[in-house]
Structure 1
Amino acid sequence: MRPPARERPGRGEPASPAVRAGGVVLLLCIAAALLSAVAGGLLRAGVPLAGAGAPDWLGQAAVQHAALMICAFMGTVIAVERAVAVKLAIAWLAPAASALAGPLLLLGHPGAAGGLLVAAGAVFVGVNMVVVRRQNEPHTELLLASALAWLAGNLLFALGFAPAAVVPWWFAFLVMTIAAERLEMTRLMRRRRGALPALVALLALLVAGSTLSAAEPVAGGVLYGAALLGLALWLLAFDIARRTLFTHGLSRYMAVCLLGGYAWLAIGGLAWAATALGANWRDTALHALGLGFVFSMMMGHAPVILPAVARVKLLFGWPFYLPLALLHGSLLLRLGLRGLDAGWLPRGAGLNAAAIALFAATAAGAVVAWRRRHDRPRAG
């Protein structure tokens, strides 16, 4: 959720050394979670990162790939964004706890990490209750629902439930967070009368699928996949991206990211339901959703969110399209050709990782480019 204009951070008093040190530690934990999650994902896809002498943390990164990527990385980033928005010191306990869970996962302490993730989820729910109290709107209520989904997944993880029961809740957290962001934006458009009830029904179906996945994996998986497919169709029909696609600059780039992501969301929903019915489409379901949809949304929103959260400015330009094209192209190769040649799974996964790295480099380069253009000392 973007901070309202009156709450956006400004240039106040310099932060204390303790606050700056905490910020550095938090940033390092976020980076470590992303890098280790990517490494673990590559290892799971069959990319030979190390030989027999592989470090223990790399094996843990493969085992805890979903927890690292969704909770220690994405969950922490979202919690940081929300803490900046509400401007309450206690709100920072949520990203601090989820960030510290990452090193514990890599050190082989999932129980302790699970406890921290439960604490993070509980604080995050409280933060979103504050958001609803300040601005009681459908999109803020949906943000609260997404926080509850994260807490539910974290509780199941801490209690030792299987990934089949946990992962749907974690993805529901991300999907509902993105849906809330887009619902906020659709206020700029005239919506049909039934649009909001339809969205609520689809997200209720998503929650039902998450709940059933532990005890009734077939029924739960089919419901979950149907909800994802329905949500993709809703977003394609009602999102403002359909109009901004025909604009220029950053607005068009964001629209391309969003519409491409919605296509992958639909594919992920179909693959999720097919997997529940016995098809060998698990990799397609997880990565069409996690990479094709979620990372497309992150790439699209990063040029807007980073300035508000990190207090940096980016010079947007055509290079941002390069990692986006690589992400979608590598997913097509990974998911489309693996049935013909199993070697496309590790090759495609390697290109997926390259797309993430290229995006990080592009964003960093955009920050440097803005500073060079605007921070030059004035002559005389």
Structure 2
Amino acid sequence: MVLMAGLWTGLLRLGWNGLAAIAPNPSVHGPLMVCGFLGTLISLERAVALNRRWTYAVPALVGLGAFAALLGIAPPGGPLLITLGSAGLVIIFGVVLSIQAAPFAVVMAAGAVAWAVGNGLWLTGWPIPYLTPWWLGFLVLTIAGERLELSRMMQHASYVRYGFMTCIVVLGLGLACSLVSLDTGARILGAGLVALGGWLIAYDIARHTVTHAGLPRFMAVCLLMGYGWLLVGGGLMLTYGWPTAGLLYDAMLHTVFVGFVFSMIFAHAPVIFPSVLDIDIPYRPLFYGPVALLHLSLVARIVGDLWPYATLRLIGGWSNAAAILLFLGATAYSIIQAPPSPPDAPPKESLDLDGGRSLAPR
């Protein structure tokens, strides 16, 4: 429901006035998508991975905060609940680091801290465009940490690993500088995104699995296309800084939040959702349809922003939303058509965070 509301408010921001009498405030589009949908999903994934009862309060707080923001409950209702939830995610990662202080976990923990900082700024009244770099950092660092974890099987040389951490340090420096000078911080952040995108294209395992068949190739295609959008978004920030409104702002945000982040969601959905929801999602070639629509429509949207050409931008934005809905539909179809699990099938284990050992207490 939060995702649907987020897409709806996104269309309202594009200028659509459908069902205006009952429409939510378009200004909650960013909080709903980043915090309400993605923040809840990531928090739930971490709660399942750690497999401790108290951790489920974190996605519950974030979800309640998103509904409060959607319903327009007087501040600080929504921001307060979401900030408390993000603080809970930081605590979760504190527990994870006490179990295994691996570099990938440190990077993901840094992402949780970035989210908590951004939410804290929101709670204290900062305008959303000024704190959005921290929300962007949350998602990029979380995804980067997950990709670093999977890259361990590549056994990269030490200089490759140091290169990755250098990218992360630059990202962190950009976020910190944005508190003092938004434009300067954004340019540093953009440099970090370009460097990280280049590192992922060069060293992520997707570069090898794209030659495989079936699900590995599908995931690799999504990942590599997402890394390309990370380069584009970082390049825009490096060149233009951080405009807080307008068409360039729209292009800059959606290259990362749609082009990069949703590519990662599409790539990992057949793997992550079964672990979180305890369901089977068999891979099907029809998954490529929504992926193609997502990227082609994003090209149209960005060209429409930069040209500028309002009709092309509108078509691109509508098609972005359609691609996400079509992927949800394709996923639901795959679930419905999945053969039933045998009655003696072992239960799914907690998500693996440490290369084979569950983080659940023994």
TM norm. shorter chain > 0.5 = yes
Amino acid at match of 2:255: A
Q: TM-score, normalised by structure 2?
A: 0.90
Deviation, 1:299, is 0.3
2:151 to 181, 186, 189: 186
Matched with 1:35 is 4
Matched with 1:350 is 318
8 Å CA contact 2:190, 2:233 repeated in 1: yes
Are 1:320 and 2:287 matched, yes or no?
Answer: yes
Are 1:68 and 2:43 matched, yes or no?
Answer: no
Q: TM-score, normalised by structure 1?
A: 0.86
Deviation, 1:340, is 5.1
Matched with 1:363 is 331
Q: How far apart, CA to CA, are the structure 1 residues paired with 2:15 and 2:158?
A: 49
8 Å CA contact 1:265, 1:289 repeated in 2: yes
Are residues 344 and 221 of structure 1, via their aligned partners in 2, closer, same or farther at CA, if it must alter by over 3 Å? same
8 Å CA contact 2:182, 2:242 repeated in 1: no
1:90 to 46, 54, 65: 54
8 Å CA contact 1:274, 1:281 repeated in 2: no
Q: How far apart, CA to CA, are the structure 2 residues paired with 1:140 and 1:110?
A: 33
Matched with 1:176 is 141
Amino acid at match of 1:273: L
Q: How far apart, CA to CA, are the structure 2 residues paired with 1:45 and 1:89?
A: 41
272-281 vs 188-197, which moves further: 272-281
113-122 vs 212-221, which moves further: 212-221
Q: Deviations over 1:9-41 (max 9, x none)?
A: xxxxxxxxxxxxxxxxxxxxxxx2111111111
8 Å CA contact 2:104, 2:145 repeated in 1: yes
Amino acid at match of 1:171: L
Q: Percent identity?
A: 37
Count of equivalent residues = 339
264-273 vs 294-303, which moves further: 264-273
Are 1:287 and 2:287 matched, yes or no?
Answer: no
Matched with 1:50 is 19
8 Å CA contact 2:303, 2:313 repeated in 1: no
Q: How far apart, CA to CA, are the structure 2 residues paired with 1:162 and 1:305?
A: 33
8 Å CA contact 1:47, 1:346 repeated in 2: no
Q: Deviations over 1:288-312 (max 9, x none)?
A: 0000000000000000011111000
Deviation, 1:341, is 2.2
Deviation, 1:359, is 0.4
Q: How far apart, CA to CA, are the structure 1 residues paired with 2:292 and 2:242?
A: 32
Q: How far apart, CA to CA, are the structure 1 residues paired with 2:157 and 2:56?
A: 38
Amino acid at match of 2:8: A
Query: Where in structure 2 are there 5+ consecutive unaligned residues?
Result: 344-362
Amino acid at match of 1:48: N
Deviation, 1:280, is 5.4
Are residues 110 and 232 of structure 1, via their aligned partners in 2, closer, same or farther at CA, if it must alter by over 3 Å? farther
Deviation, 1:277, is 7.0
Q: Deviations over 1:204-230 (max 9, x none)?
A: 221221222233122111111111111
Q: How far apart, CA to CA, are the structure 2 residues paired with 1:192 and 1:236?
A: 16
Are residues 117 and 340 of structure 1, via their aligned partners in 2, closer, same or farther at CA, if it must alter by over 3 Å? closer
Matched with 1:256 is 221
Are 1:139 and 2:104 matched, yes or no?
Answer: yes
Matched with 1:303 is 270
Q: Deviations over 1:180-204 (max 9, x none)?
A: 1100111111313212222222212
Amino acid at match of 1:297: M
1:157 to 110, 118, 122: 122
Query: Where in structure 1 are there 5+ consecutive unaligned residues?
Result: 1-31
Matched with 1:104 is 68
